[in-house]
Amino acid sequence: MRVLAAMSGGVDSAVAAARAVDAGHEVVGVHLALSRAGGTLRTGSRGCCTIEDAMDARRAADLLGIPFYVWDFSERFREDVIDDFISEYRAGRTPNPCMRCNEKIKFAALLERAIELGFDAVCTGHYASLVDGPQGLELHRASDAAKDQSYVLGVLDAQQLAHTYFPLGDTPSKALVRAEAAERGLTVAQKPDSHDICFIPDGDTKGWLAEKVGTASGDIVDRSGTVVGAHEGAHSYTVGQRRGLALGVPAADGKPRFVLEVRPVTNTVVVGPKEALAIGEIAGSRFTWAGRAPEQAAFDCEVQIRAHADPVPARATLADGTITVVPAEPFEGVAPGQTAVIYDGTRVMGQFTIDHTVSAVPQPA
């Protein structure tokens, strides 16, 4: 099999490429240049697409004895990931750029080019498993629950799954991957994991958004509409946030208040008690299926609303182009723009972008 190994410069993708070579595949390594700022350097463990990462990926490919290329996907990344991130925040939603990157870049643009060049599959260092099920290929959680990345792969469809390869899916722990990298002589064996948003390497999302979206003062109100504070830009707030509210009017019960909603049209932030973060229903019209679609319009499942959240038993219903999910126990702190991934046990069924939420706690009269 001809395999294109996406090499980020980290330990996971390096070991994944090495295992593909060991399996006897014809492997070519590629690093995606996602930024036009060629001199960008890594800051601590932030980011994953710096010039240092490209150099680490090249050293790993040289050690493995495979051809290596750097492909410039910066323009596509800007349009499909960065611009989407900005527009979602402008609309008062909370996007997940890693989901968009997987959907639009790694398993769309990259995979499309790989197939055009005659490759059979794209190999990545994601922790997830592919299983031949009774009705086709299925995407499942990884063996290592702590490192499972099936959530961020929930955007993949059946055709994309047919051309993907996840060599690390059955590895019991990340420690074993690092040990294997050391044994192979890979210099990235102890390299820290990347975190935060790769195109905001200093981690200052609030400041970055202020430059892109601008600032405009507005009101912070409680659930009844009473003004309790002011802000300098609604985009700086996310549902569930507690710190940095600087409220001028304390709650009557003296308890802390949390962001419940961001309203971009009126430039208003709504706050309330922690219990009001409980969400009894979510819905969305932008959904895809990872393989076969559900046979029934209503079905039981588990739903995960964040990459590291616990899955919640739920009932999903499809009607009029919208999927609605009612959890057995309320979700907490859900914001429009987040991705909900649907599971059947360990199998990823699909995903949808949350457009609408319904509080489990009635608003006071």
In the chain, the DSSP E strands lie at: 2-6, 26-33, 68-72, 121-123, 128-133, 136-141, 164-165, 218-221, 227-231, 258-263, 268-272, 278-284, 286-289, 298-304, 312-319, 322-327, 331-332, 339-344, 347-353, 356-359
Pairing of strands 278-284, 268-272: unpaired
> Among this protein's residues, is 198 annotated catalytic?
yes
Per the DSSP assignment, residues forming a β-bridge with 289 are 350
For residue 39, give both structure tokens: 């001199």
> Among this protein's residues, is 101 annotated catalytic?
yes
Question: Among residues 48, 101, 123, 301, which one is catalytic?
Answer: 101
Whole-number Å distance between alpha carbons of 72 and 9: 15
C-alpha dist (Å) from residue 74 to 9, 83, 143, 282, 290: 17, 12, 33, 34, 27
Question: Among residues 48, 49, 123, 198, which one is catalytic?
Answer: 198
Per the DSSP assignment, residues forming a β-bridge with 283 are 324, 356
Which of 6, 11, 330 has its CA nearest to residue 147?
A: 11
Whose tokens are 């946030």? That residue is 241
**Cβ-contact 216, 267 below 8 angstroms:** yes
C-alpha dist (Å) from residue 135 to 99, 169, 212, 232: 26, 21, 46, 53
Could you tell me what percentage of the chain is helix, strand and coil, using 3-state DSSP and rounding each to the nearest 5? 25, 30, 45
Phi, psi of 290 (to 5 degrees): -90, 75
For residue 242, give both structure tokens: 């507690």
Active site residues: 101, 198
